[in-house]
């Protein structure tokens, strides 16, 4: 059971004159698949990164299961994140890329092996565990990035434009895989995309973030509507 609550969240980067995120509010239910859509620069990534703990929250409160998380270190948040550029370690094998977050958290070797092999099986990576990222296709790299997140068995799953580097055909098939994965693992999920079809297909609920019409190019974000 995992709920996520963002209350009056603001973000201003030190170098910026305007807020990147301004008074963002949302309650996310257990196992809900939320999709953020909106134009480039409206604060989608920043919001995800604040939830993950990769950016400080300037103002406002983030809660997971009613516990305030603002000052909790990323590795202690029980959140897994998939990035647009996959962020794989080039010198490590697929196995070690997937195992990395578990090693960091001091899981024992047998448990790491069990989890990595299970995730590899789910994602069709079993025969690729000894390869390096450079020897994989785009779709396979994307699966490794997802595998690295699902081995964590995290309560909250964050995906920042995970499919946007793939070609159109692969995007459609990976979209179906993500839907299937969510039905199987059921983590409370926030998914960022600017692809409306992707949003409509995957979401339990879509949050439309929009840039403020008065914003200059250095800053952004005003309103959030929920539909």
> Can you give the binding site for ligand ADP, defined by CB under 6 A?
13, 15-16, 20, 38, 40-46, 95-96, 109, 113, 129-130, 219-220
* Dihedral over Cα of 195, 198, 201, 203: its sign: negative
Question: Closest distance between ligand ADP and the C-beta of residue 205, in Å?
Answer: 18
Based on CB atoms, which residue is closest to ligand ADP, 46 or 187? 46
Based on CB atoms, which residue is closest to ligand ADP, 2 or 47? 47
Based on CB atoms, which residue is closest to ligand ADP, 63 or 113? 113
Reported as half-sphere exposure (CB side, CA atoms, 13 A), residue 11 has a value of 27
Question: Closest distance between ligand ADP and the C-beta of residue 192, in Å?
Answer: 7
C-alpha distances in Å from residue 41, one per residue of 2, 19, 82, 219, 227: 29, 11, 19, 8, 21
Distance CA 191, CA 172 (A): 15
Question: Closest distance between ligand ADP and the C-beta of residue 186, in Å?
Answer: 26
Question: Closest distance between ligand ADP and the C-beta of residue 72, in Å?
Answer: 21
Based on CB atoms, which residue is closest to ligand ADP, 69 or 94? 94
Based on CB atoms, which residue is closest to ligand ADP, 30 or 121? 121
Question: Closest distance between ligand ADP and the C-beta of residue 78, in Å?
Answer: 23
Distance CA 100, CA 114 (A): 14
- Contacts of the segment 100-109: beta carbons below 8 A, 24+ positions apart: 100/148, 101/148, 101/151, 101/152, 102/151, 102/152, 104/75, 105/75
SS3 of 19, please? coil
Based on CB atoms, which residue is closest to ligand ADP, 57 or 129? 129
Q: What is the dihedral of CA 147, 141, 73, 66, to 10 degrees?
A: -50
Total Cβ atoms within 10 A of residue 5? 17
Question: Closest distance between ligand ADP and the C-beta of residue 16, in Å?
Answer: 5
Distance CA 161, CA 155 (A): 20
How remote is the C-alpha of 19 from its chain's centroid? 22
Question: Closest distance between ligand ADP and the C-beta of residue 75, in Å?
Answer: 18
Based on CB atoms, which residue is closest to ligand ADP, 31 or 208? 208
């Amino acid at each position: 059971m995992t709920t996520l609550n963002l209350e009056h969240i603001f973000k201003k980067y030190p170098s910026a004159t305007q807020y990147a995120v301004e008074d963002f509010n949302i309650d996310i239910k257990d196992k809900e698949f939320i999709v953020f859509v909106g134009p480039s620069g409206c604060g989608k990534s920043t919001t995800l990164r604040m939830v993950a703990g990769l950016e400080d929250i300037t103002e406002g409160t983030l809660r997971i299961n009613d516990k305030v998380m603002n000052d909790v270190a990323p590795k202690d948040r029980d959140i897994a994140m998939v990035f647009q550029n996959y962020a794989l370690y080039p010198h490590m094998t697929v196995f070690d890329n997937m195992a990395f977050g578990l090693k960091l958290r001091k899981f024992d070797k047998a448990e790491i092996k069990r989890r990595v092999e299970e995730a590899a099986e789910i994602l069709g990576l079993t025969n690729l565990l000894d390869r390096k990222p450079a020897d994989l296709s785009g779709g396979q790299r994307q699966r490794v990035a997802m595998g690295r997140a699902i081995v964590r068995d995290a309560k909250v799953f964050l995906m920042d434009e995970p499919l946007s580097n793939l070609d159109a055909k692969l995007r459609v098939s990976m979209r179906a895989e993500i839907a299937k994965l969510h039905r199987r693992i059921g983590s409370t999920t926030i998914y960022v995309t600017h692809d409306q079809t992707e949003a409509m297909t995957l979401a339990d609920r879509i949050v439309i973030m929009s840039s403020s019409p008065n914003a200059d190019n250095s800053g952004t974000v005003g309103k959030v509507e929920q539909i």
